[in-house]
Protein backbone atom coordinates (compact mmCIF):
# COMPACT_ATOMS: atom_id res chain seq x y z
CA UNK A 1 0.00 0.00 0.00
CA UNK A 2 1.02 3.61 -0.47
CA UNK A 3 -0.40 7.13 -0.03
CA UNK A 4 2.20 8.65 -2.37
CA UNK A 5 1.36 6.82 -5.59
CA UNK A 6 1.87 3.45 -7.29
CA UNK A 7 5.61 4.07 -7.70
CA UNK A 8 6.20 4.08 -3.93
CA UNK A 9 4.39 0.96 -2.77
CA UNK A 10 5.33 -0.63 0.54
CA UNK A 11 5.23 -4.37 1.22
CA UNK A 12 2.52 -4.10 3.89
CA UNK A 13 -0.68 -2.18 4.68
CA UNK A 14 0.82 0.14 7.30
CA UNK A 15 0.30 3.33 5.20
CA UNK A 16 -3.41 2.51 4.94
CA UNK A 17 -3.73 1.70 8.65
CA UNK A 18 -1.86 4.90 9.58
CA UNK A 19 -4.28 6.93 7.46
CA UNK A 20 -7.25 5.33 9.20
CA UNK A 21 -5.85 6.29 12.61
CA UNK A 22 -5.07 9.83 11.46
CA UNK A 23 -8.19 10.64 9.44
CA UNK A 24 -11.04 8.71 11.06
CA UNK A 25 -12.54 10.45 14.09
CA UNK A 26 -12.38 8.71 17.44
CA UNK A 27 -15.66 7.31 18.79
CA UNK A 28 -17.61 9.62 21.07
CA UNK A 29 -17.79 7.67 24.33
CA UNK A 30 -20.36 8.56 26.99
CA UNK A 31 -19.32 6.40 29.92
CA UNK A 32 -21.57 8.15 32.43
CA UNK A 33 -24.78 7.84 30.37
CA UNK A 34 -27.29 4.91 30.34
CA UNK A 35 -26.37 1.88 28.23
CA UNK A 36 -26.77 2.22 24.45
CA UNK A 37 -25.42 -0.20 21.84
CA UNK A 38 -26.83 -0.47 18.33
CA UNK A 39 -26.80 -4.03 17.00
CA UNK A 40 -25.10 -3.59 13.61
CA UNK A 41 -24.30 -7.21 12.78
CA UNK A 42 -25.21 -10.75 13.80
CA UNK A 43 -23.40 -14.07 13.97
CA UNK A 44 -24.51 -17.53 15.00
CA UNK A 45 -22.95 -20.21 17.21
CA UNK A 46 -24.30 -23.76 17.20
CA UNK A 47 -23.97 -23.99 20.99
CA UNK A 48 -24.57 -20.43 22.17
CA UNK A 49 -27.12 -19.29 19.59
CA UNK A 50 -27.30 -15.82 18.10
CA UNK A 51 -24.30 -13.51 18.62
CA UNK A 52 -24.96 -9.74 18.67
CA UNK A 53 -22.22 -7.39 17.44
CA UNK A 54 -21.99 -3.62 17.75
CA UNK A 55 -20.24 -0.61 19.32
CA UNK A 56 -21.13 0.59 22.79
CA UNK A 57 -22.17 4.23 22.45
CA UNK A 58 -22.65 4.83 26.18
CA UNK A 59 -22.52 2.90 29.42
CA UNK A 60 -20.82 -0.49 29.72
CA UNK A 61 -21.48 -4.24 29.45
CA UNK A 62 -20.55 -7.03 31.86
CA UNK A 63 -21.08 -10.79 31.92
CA UNK A 64 -24.31 -11.58 33.76
CA UNK A 65 -25.64 -8.04 33.36
CA UNK A 66 -29.37 -7.68 32.74
CA UNK A 67 -30.04 -5.68 29.58
CA UNK A 68 -33.01 -4.53 27.56
CA UNK A 69 -33.43 -4.80 23.78
CA UNK A 70 -35.65 -2.37 21.93
CA UNK A 71 -36.25 -1.54 18.25
CA UNK A 72 -36.78 2.21 17.91
CA UNK A 73 -38.93 4.38 20.13
CA UNK A 74 -42.12 2.39 19.53
CA UNK A 75 -40.64 -1.09 19.88
CA UNK A 76 -41.42 -3.41 22.77
CA UNK A 77 -38.79 -3.76 25.50
CA UNK A 78 -37.40 -7.31 25.88
CA UNK A 79 -35.04 -8.20 28.71
CA UNK A 80 -32.28 -10.80 28.92
CA UNK A 81 -28.88 -11.43 30.50
CA UNK A 82 -25.43 -11.50 28.92
CA UNK A 83 -23.97 -15.02 29.09
CA UNK A 84 -20.76 -14.49 27.09
CA UNK A 85 -18.94 -11.26 26.23
CA UNK A 86 -16.22 -10.95 23.60
CA UNK A 87 -13.74 -8.38 22.36
CA UNK A 88 -12.23 -8.47 18.89
CA UNK A 89 -8.56 -9.43 18.79
CA UNK A 90 -6.67 -9.56 15.47
CA UNK A 91 -8.91 -11.69 13.22
CA UNK A 92 -10.79 -13.44 16.01
CA UNK A 93 -12.72 -12.95 19.23
CA UNK A 94 -11.72 -13.62 22.83
CA UNK A 95 -13.77 -13.64 26.01
CA UNK A 96 -13.61 -10.66 28.34
CA UNK A 97 -15.38 -9.66 31.55
CA UNK A 98 -16.33 -6.07 30.75
CA UNK A 99 -16.50 -3.69 27.77
CA UNK A 100 -16.73 0.11 28.00
CA UNK A 101 -18.23 2.91 25.93
CA UNK A 102 -16.47 3.23 22.56
CA UNK A 103 -15.56 -0.48 22.38
CA UNK A 104 -16.75 -2.80 19.63
CA UNK A 105 -17.90 -6.07 21.17
CA UNK A 106 -20.00 -9.20 20.71
CA UNK A 107 -22.20 -10.99 23.22
CA UNK A 108 -24.55 -13.95 23.55
CA UNK A 109 -27.63 -14.52 25.67
CA UNK A 110 -30.03 -12.34 23.67
CA UNK A 111 -33.44 -13.64 22.70
CA UNK A 112 -33.91 -15.35 19.38
CA UNK A 113 -35.79 -12.52 17.68
CA UNK A 114 -33.08 -9.85 18.04
CA UNK A 115 -32.41 -8.16 14.68
CA UNK A 116 -29.99 -5.68 13.17
CA UNK A 117 -31.21 -2.24 14.21
CA UNK A 118 -32.16 -3.24 17.76
CA UNK A 119 -30.64 -1.14 20.56
CA UNK A 120 -29.20 -2.74 23.69
CA UNK A 121 -30.39 -0.48 26.51
CA UNK A 122 -30.58 -0.15 30.28
CA UNK A 123 -33.96 -1.77 31.13
CA UNK A 124 -34.49 0.84 33.88
CA UNK A 125 -33.80 3.78 31.54
CA UNK A 126 -34.25 2.59 27.90
CA UNK A 127 -33.03 5.10 25.32
CA UNK A 128 -33.10 3.38 21.90
CA UNK A 129 -31.05 4.72 19.00
CA UNK A 130 -32.50 5.25 15.49
CA UNK A 131 -32.61 1.74 13.95
CA UNK A 132 -30.63 0.64 10.90
CA UNK A 133 -32.89 0.00 7.93
CA UNK A 134 -32.12 -3.33 6.25
CA UNK A 135 -32.56 -3.16 2.48
CA UNK A 136 -35.32 -5.36 1.14
CA UNK A 137 -34.53 -8.18 -1.34
CA UNK A 138 -34.51 -7.35 -5.04
CA UNK A 139 -33.58 -10.67 -6.72
CA UNK A 140 -34.91 -14.22 -6.36
CA UNK A 141 -33.38 -17.64 -7.07
CA UNK A 142 -34.96 -21.07 -6.93
CA UNK A 143 -32.95 -23.59 -4.86
CA UNK A 144 -33.63 -27.32 -5.01
CA UNK A 145 -31.98 -30.75 -4.81
CA UNK A 146 -29.65 -31.74 -7.60
CA UNK A 147 -31.60 -33.99 -9.99
CA UNK A 148 -28.99 -34.46 -12.71
CA UNK A 149 -27.57 -37.90 -13.71
CA UNK A 150 -24.26 -36.79 -12.13
CA UNK A 151 -25.78 -35.91 -8.75
CA UNK A 152 -23.96 -37.10 -5.61
CA UNK A 153 -20.95 -38.36 -7.56
CA UNK A 154 -18.49 -35.74 -6.31
CA UNK A 155 -16.19 -37.09 -3.61
CA UNK A 156 -16.54 -33.85 -1.59
CA UNK A 157 -20.34 -33.95 -1.50
CA UNK A 158 -21.91 -34.20 1.98
CA UNK A 159 -25.43 -32.73 1.79
CA UNK A 160 -27.89 -33.41 -1.03
CA UNK A 161 -31.49 -33.57 0.23
CA UNK A 162 -34.13 -30.87 0.38
CA UNK A 163 -34.15 -31.15 4.19
CA UNK A 164 -30.42 -30.40 4.32
CA UNK A 165 -30.86 -27.35 2.07
CA UNK A 166 -33.80 -26.09 4.15
CA UNK A 167 -31.86 -26.43 7.40
CA UNK A 168 -28.90 -24.52 5.95
CA UNK A 169 -31.13 -21.71 4.65
CA UNK A 170 -32.86 -21.41 8.02
CA UNK A 171 -29.48 -21.05 9.71
CA UNK A 172 -28.41 -18.41 7.18
CA UNK A 173 -31.55 -16.36 7.78
CA UNK A 174 -30.71 -16.13 11.50
CA UNK A 175 -27.76 -13.84 10.75
CA UNK A 176 -28.47 -12.56 7.23
CA UNK A 177 -31.58 -10.46 7.68
CA UNK A 178 -31.71 -9.33 4.04
CA UNK A 179 -32.29 -12.95 3.01
CA UNK A 180 -35.76 -14.50 2.74
CA UNK A 181 -36.80 -17.99 1.71
CA UNK A 182 -40.04 -19.90 1.38
CA UNK A 183 -41.08 -23.37 0.10
CA UNK A 184 -42.01 -23.53 -3.57
CA UNK A 185 -43.32 -27.09 -3.86
CA UNK A 186 -41.54 -30.15 -5.27
CA UNK A 187 -38.82 -29.82 -2.57
CA UNK A 188 -37.70 -26.44 -3.95
CA UNK A 189 -37.31 -23.06 -2.23
CA UNK A 190 -37.59 -19.46 -3.40
CA UNK A 191 -34.61 -17.56 -1.98
CA UNK A 192 -34.66 -13.75 -2.10
CA UNK A 193 -31.65 -11.51 -1.58
CA UNK A 194 -30.07 -8.15 -2.36
CA UNK A 195 -28.79 -8.95 -5.83
CA UNK A 196 -26.97 -11.82 -7.49
CA UNK A 197 -23.73 -11.02 -5.64
CA UNK A 198 -25.24 -11.77 -2.23
CA UNK A 199 -26.95 -14.93 -3.48
CA UNK A 200 -23.80 -15.99 -5.31
CA UNK A 201 -21.77 -15.70 -2.08
CA UNK A 202 -24.34 -17.88 -0.31
CA UNK A 203 -24.10 -20.50 -3.07
CA UNK A 204 -20.31 -20.48 -2.96
CA UNK A 205 -20.30 -20.90 0.83
CA UNK A 206 -22.77 -23.80 0.65
CA UNK A 207 -20.76 -25.38 -2.12
CA UNK A 208 -17.58 -25.27 -0.02
CA UNK A 209 -19.48 -26.84 2.88
CA UNK A 210 -20.30 -29.88 0.73
CA UNK A 211 -23.78 -29.03 -0.56
CA UNK A 212 -25.14 -30.03 -3.95
CA UNK A 213 -28.15 -28.26 -5.43
CA UNK A 214 -29.89 -27.10 -8.59
CA UNK A 215 -30.46 -23.36 -8.99
CA UNK A 216 -32.77 -21.49 -11.35
CA UNK A 217 -31.97 -18.30 -13.27
CA UNK A 218 -32.11 -14.99 -11.33
CA UNK A 219 -35.51 -13.29 -11.33
CA UNK A 220 -35.83 -9.60 -10.42
CA UNK A 221 -38.64 -8.88 -7.95
CA UNK A 222 -41.39 -6.35 -8.65
CA UNK A 223 -44.09 -4.77 -6.51
CA UNK A 224 -47.32 -2.84 -6.97
CA UNK A 225 -47.88 0.57 -5.41
CA UNK A 226 -50.52 0.16 -2.73
CA UNK A 227 -53.96 1.19 -3.93
CA UNK A 228 -52.92 1.47 -7.59
CA UNK A 229 -52.08 -0.73 -10.56
CA UNK A 230 -48.64 0.83 -10.96
CA UNK A 231 -45.88 -1.79 -11.17
CA UNK A 232 -42.44 -0.94 -9.81
CA UNK A 233 -39.03 -2.59 -10.09
CA UNK A 234 -35.71 -1.99 -8.29
CA UNK A 235 -33.31 0.56 -9.77
CA UNK A 236 -29.62 0.83 -8.94
CA UNK A 237 -26.89 3.42 -9.16
CA UNK A 238 -24.08 1.90 -11.20
CA UNK A 239 -20.60 3.42 -11.05
CA UNK A 240 -18.24 2.32 -13.81
CA UNK A 241 -14.56 3.14 -14.06
CA UNK A 242 -12.82 2.27 -17.34
CA UNK A 243 -9.87 3.35 -19.48
CA UNK A 244 -10.58 6.41 -21.61
CA UNK A 245 -10.33 4.44 -24.87
CA UNK A 246 -13.30 2.24 -23.89
CA UNK A 247 -15.49 5.06 -22.60
CA UNK A 248 -17.68 5.27 -25.71
CA UNK A 249 -18.19 1.50 -25.93
CA UNK A 250 -19.19 1.27 -22.27
CA UNK A 251 -21.53 4.25 -22.53
CA UNK A 252 -23.17 2.88 -25.68
CA UNK A 253 -23.82 -0.52 -24.02
CA UNK A 254 -25.29 1.00 -20.86
CA UNK A 255 -27.56 3.34 -22.81
CA UNK A 256 -28.64 0.45 -25.04
CA UNK A 257 -30.00 -1.53 -22.09
CA UNK A 258 -31.87 1.41 -20.57
CA UNK A 259 -29.28 3.09 -18.36
CA UNK A 260 -29.66 6.82 -17.68
CA UNK A 261 -26.34 8.69 -17.59
CA UNK A 262 -26.10 10.89 -14.49
CA UNK A 263 -22.49 12.02 -14.49
CA UNK A 264 -19.20 11.58 -16.31
CA UNK A 265 -15.83 12.65 -14.97
CA UNK A 266 -12.23 11.73 -14.23
CA UNK A 267 -11.53 8.36 -12.65
CA UNK A 268 -9.35 7.53 -9.65
CA UNK A 269 -6.21 7.58 -11.78
CA UNK A 270 -4.99 9.37 -14.88
CA UNK A 271 -6.34 7.76 -18.05
CA UNK A 272 -9.53 6.48 -16.39
CA UNK A 273 -13.09 7.76 -16.82
CA UNK A 274 -15.87 7.39 -14.25
CA UNK A 275 -19.46 6.99 -15.48
CA UNK A 276 -22.51 7.03 -13.19
CA UNK A 277 -25.81 5.55 -14.40
CA UNK A 278 -29.26 4.93 -12.96
CA UNK A 279 -30.49 1.62 -14.36
CA UNK A 280 -33.06 -1.13 -13.61
CA UNK A 281 -31.57 -4.04 -11.65
CA UNK A 282 -32.61 -6.56 -14.29
CA UNK A 283 -30.42 -4.83 -16.87
CA UNK A 284 -27.34 -5.11 -14.63
CA UNK A 285 -27.44 -8.92 -14.38
CA UNK A 286 -24.44 -10.14 -16.35
CA UNK A 287 -23.26 -6.59 -17.15
CA UNK A 288 -19.93 -6.95 -15.31
CA UNK A 289 -18.94 -9.77 -17.67
CA UNK A 290 -19.92 -7.80 -20.78
CA UNK A 291 -17.95 -4.74 -19.69
CA UNK A 292 -14.91 -6.87 -18.84
CA UNK A 293 -14.99 -8.39 -22.33
CA UNK A 294 -15.27 -5.11 -24.20
CA UNK A 295 -12.54 -3.45 -22.09
CA UNK A 296 -10.15 -6.42 -22.00
CA UNK A 297 -10.73 -6.90 -18.30
CA UNK A 298 -10.10 -3.29 -17.27
CA UNK A 299 -13.61 -1.93 -16.57
CA UNK A 300 -14.83 -2.03 -12.97
CA UNK A 301 -18.52 -1.91 -12.07
CA UNK A 302 -20.02 -1.30 -8.62
CA UNK A 303 -23.70 -0.81 -7.90
CA UNK A 304 -26.02 -0.16 -4.99
CA UNK A 305 -29.79 -0.07 -4.57
CA UNK A 306 -31.20 3.35 -5.44
CA UNK A 307 -35.00 3.22 -5.34
CA UNK A 308 -38.11 1.44 -6.51
CA UNK A 309 -38.96 2.98 -9.88
CA UNK A 310 -41.47 2.61 -12.67
CA UNK A 311 -41.28 -0.79 -14.34
CA UNK A 312 -39.78 -0.68 -17.84
CA UNK A 313 -41.79 -3.05 -20.00
CA UNK A 314 -40.51 -4.91 -23.02
CA UNK A 315 -38.73 -8.17 -23.64
CA UNK A 316 -35.46 -8.38 -21.76
CA UNK A 317 -32.86 -10.61 -23.37
CA UNK A 318 -30.35 -11.83 -20.81
CA UNK A 319 -27.63 -12.44 -23.41
CA UNK A 320 -26.88 -11.92 -27.07
CA UNK A 321 -25.38 -15.35 -27.77
CA UNK A 322 -27.16 -18.69 -27.71
CA UNK A 323 -26.06 -21.82 -25.89
CA UNK A 324 -24.63 -25.11 -27.16
CA UNK A 325 -26.34 -28.06 -25.49
CA UNK A 326 -25.38 -31.72 -25.59
CA UNK A 327 -27.67 -34.47 -26.87
CA UNK A 328 -26.22 -37.74 -25.48
CA UNK A 329 -24.61 -39.39 -22.47
CA UNK A 330 -20.87 -39.95 -22.40
CA UNK A 331 -17.70 -37.92 -22.20
CA UNK A 332 -16.51 -34.97 -24.26
CA UNK A 333 -13.61 -35.90 -26.51
CA UNK A 334 -10.94 -34.26 -28.64
CA UNK A 335 -12.56 -35.23 -31.93
CA UNK A 336 -15.96 -33.63 -31.21
CA UNK A 337 -14.46 -30.56 -29.51
CA UNK A 338 -12.29 -29.90 -32.55
CA UNK A 339 -15.07 -30.59 -35.04
CA UNK A 340 -17.63 -28.46 -33.19
CA UNK A 341 -15.23 -25.58 -32.54
CA UNK A 342 -16.69 -23.68 -35.50
CA UNK A 343 -19.97 -23.32 -33.61
CA UNK A 344 -18.50 -21.49 -30.58
CA UNK A 345 -16.53 -21.94 -27.36
CA UNK A 346 -16.94 -24.74 -24.81
CA UNK A 347 -17.15 -25.10 -21.02
CA UNK A 348 -15.98 -28.73 -21.19
CA UNK A 349 -12.74 -30.44 -22.12
CA UNK A 350 -11.65 -33.93 -23.12
CA UNK A 351 -12.91 -36.47 -20.59
CA UNK A 352 -15.59 -34.25 -19.00
CA UNK A 353 -18.76 -36.30 -18.27
CA UNK A 354 -21.83 -34.97 -20.12
CA UNK A 355 -25.51 -35.86 -20.36
CA UNK A 356 -28.49 -34.89 -22.58
CA UNK A 357 -29.57 -31.27 -22.10
CA UNK A 358 -26.32 -30.20 -20.47
CA UNK A 359 -25.12 -26.82 -21.77
CA UNK A 360 -21.56 -27.38 -22.92
CA UNK A 361 -20.70 -24.07 -24.57
CA UNK A 362 -21.52 -20.63 -25.96
CA UNK A 363 -22.73 -20.35 -29.55
CA UNK A 364 -21.26 -17.85 -31.99
CA UNK A 365 -24.81 -16.94 -33.01
CA UNK A 366 -27.93 -15.81 -31.16
CA UNK A 367 -29.69 -19.16 -31.68
CA UNK A 368 -29.31 -22.19 -29.42
CA UNK A 369 -27.84 -25.28 -31.06
CA UNK A 370 -27.61 -28.94 -30.05
CA UNK A 371 -24.58 -31.18 -30.66
CA UNK A 372 -23.33 -34.60 -29.62
CA UNK A 373 -20.10 -33.66 -27.88
CA UNK A 374 -19.59 -37.28 -26.77
CA UNK A 375 -19.44 -38.67 -30.30
CA UNK A 376 -15.95 -39.99 -30.99
CA UNK A 377 -13.95 -41.02 -34.01
CA UNK A 378 -12.41 -44.44 -34.25
CA UNK A 379 -8.61 -44.07 -34.26
CA UNK A 380 -6.77 -47.17 -35.43
CA UNK A 381 -3.26 -46.05 -34.58
CA UNK A 382 -1.30 -43.66 -32.34
CA UNK A 383 -0.71 -41.13 -35.15
CA UNK A 384 -4.45 -40.56 -35.60
CA UNK A 385 -4.90 -40.12 -31.84
CA UNK A 386 -2.10 -37.55 -31.70
CA UNK A 387 -3.61 -35.64 -34.63
CA UNK A 388 -7.03 -35.75 -32.95
CA UNK A 389 -5.55 -34.27 -29.75
CA UNK A 390 -3.81 -31.48 -31.67
CA UNK A 391 -7.10 -30.47 -33.32
CA UNK A 392 -9.10 -30.41 -30.09
CA UNK A 393 -10.32 -26.82 -30.49
CA UNK A 394 -10.16 -23.57 -28.49
CA UNK A 395 -9.23 -23.21 -24.80
CA UNK A 396 -11.93 -24.10 -22.25
CA UNK A 397 -14.16 -21.25 -21.06
CA UNK A 398 -13.92 -21.06 -17.26
CA UNK A 399 -16.80 -19.55 -15.30
CA UNK A 400 -17.55 -19.18 -11.61
CA UNK A 401 -20.96 -18.93 -9.93
CA UNK A 402 -21.23 -15.16 -10.48
CA UNK A 403 -20.44 -15.50 -14.18
CA UNK A 404 -22.94 -18.32 -14.65
CA UNK A 405 -25.70 -16.41 -12.84
CA UNK A 406 -25.03 -13.45 -15.11
CA UNK A 407 -24.94 -15.50 -18.31
CA UNK A 408 -27.62 -18.19 -17.87
CA UNK A 409 -31.04 -17.74 -19.48
CA UNK A 410 -34.47 -18.24 -17.97
CA UNK A 411 -34.84 -21.73 -19.50
CA UNK A 412 -31.68 -23.03 -17.82
CA UNK A 413 -30.60 -24.26 -14.39
CA UNK A 414 -27.20 -24.27 -12.70
CA UNK A 415 -26.01 -27.51 -11.15
CA UNK A 416 -23.84 -26.56 -8.16
CA UNK A 417 -21.54 -29.19 -6.62
CA UNK A 418 -18.40 -28.92 -4.44
CA UNK A 419 -16.29 -29.73 -7.48
CA UNK A 420 -18.01 -28.85 -10.75
CA UNK A 421 -20.51 -26.27 -11.96
CA UNK A 422 -22.76 -27.39 -14.83
CA UNK A 423 -25.43 -25.55 -16.78
CA UNK A 424 -28.41 -27.55 -18.04
CA UNK A 425 -31.64 -26.89 -19.92
CA UNK A 426 -34.53 -26.92 -17.42
CA UNK A 427 -36.67 -29.10 -19.70
CA UNK A 428 -34.00 -31.79 -20.12
CA UNK A 429 -35.41 -35.31 -19.88
CA UNK A 430 -32.25 -36.29 -18.02
CA UNK A 431 -33.44 -34.22 -15.05
CA UNK A 432 -37.00 -35.51 -14.94
CA UNK A 433 -35.80 -39.11 -15.21
CA UNK A 434 -34.40 -39.04 -11.65
d(CA 191, CA 173): 10
CA nearest to 307, candidates 239, 238, 234: 234
The DSSP string of 230-284 is: -EEEEEEEEEEEEEGGGHHHHHHHHHHTT-EEEEEEE-SSTTEEEEEEEEEHHHH
What is the reported pLDDT for 390?
45
d(CA 372, CA 358): 11
Helix axes 287-294 and 247-256, enclosed angle (nearest 10): 150
φ, ψ of residue 395 to 5 degrees: the values are: -60, 155
d(CA 23, CA 29): 18
Number of H helices, E strands in the chain: 10, 28
Residue 274 and residue 250 in contact, taking contact as beta carbons nearer than 8 Å: no
Render pLDDT for 126-177 as a digit per residue (tens, 0 to 9): 999 999 887 889 999 999 999 999 999 999 999 999 999 999 999 898 888 8
Q: Along the 434 residues of the chain, how does pLDDT read in single tens digits? A: 788 888 888 889 999 999 999 998 888 888 889 999 999 988 888 888 889 999 999 999 999 999 999 998 888 899 999 999 999 988 889 999 999 999 999 999 876 678 888 999 999 999 999 998 878 899 999 999 999 999 999 999 999 999 999 999 998 988 888 899 999 877 899 999 998 989 999 999 999 999 999 999 999 999 888 888 889 999 999 999 999 999 999 999 999 888 999 999 998 888 999 999 999 998 888 888 888 888 888 899 999 999 998 887 765 555 778 899 999 999 998 888 888 888 888 999 999 999 999 999 999 888 899 999 888 766 554 445 545 444 555 688 888 998 899 889 889 999 999 999 999 999 988 886 55
Distances in Å between the alpha carbon of 308 and those of 46, 91, 136, 242, 263? Answer: 37, 38, 11, 28, 20
Amino acid sequence: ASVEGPDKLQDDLMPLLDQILEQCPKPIAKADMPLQMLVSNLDYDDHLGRVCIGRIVSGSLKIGQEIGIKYGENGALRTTKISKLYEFNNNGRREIGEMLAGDICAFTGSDKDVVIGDTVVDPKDPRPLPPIEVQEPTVELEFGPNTSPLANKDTLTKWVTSAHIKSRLEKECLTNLALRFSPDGNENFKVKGRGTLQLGILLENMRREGFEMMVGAPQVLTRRVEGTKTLEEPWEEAIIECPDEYQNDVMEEMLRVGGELQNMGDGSMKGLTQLIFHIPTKMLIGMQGKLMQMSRGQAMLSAQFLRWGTYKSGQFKAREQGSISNSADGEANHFSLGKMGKFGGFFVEHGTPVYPGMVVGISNKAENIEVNIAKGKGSDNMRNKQKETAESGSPVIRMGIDEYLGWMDTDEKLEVTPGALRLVKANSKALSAR
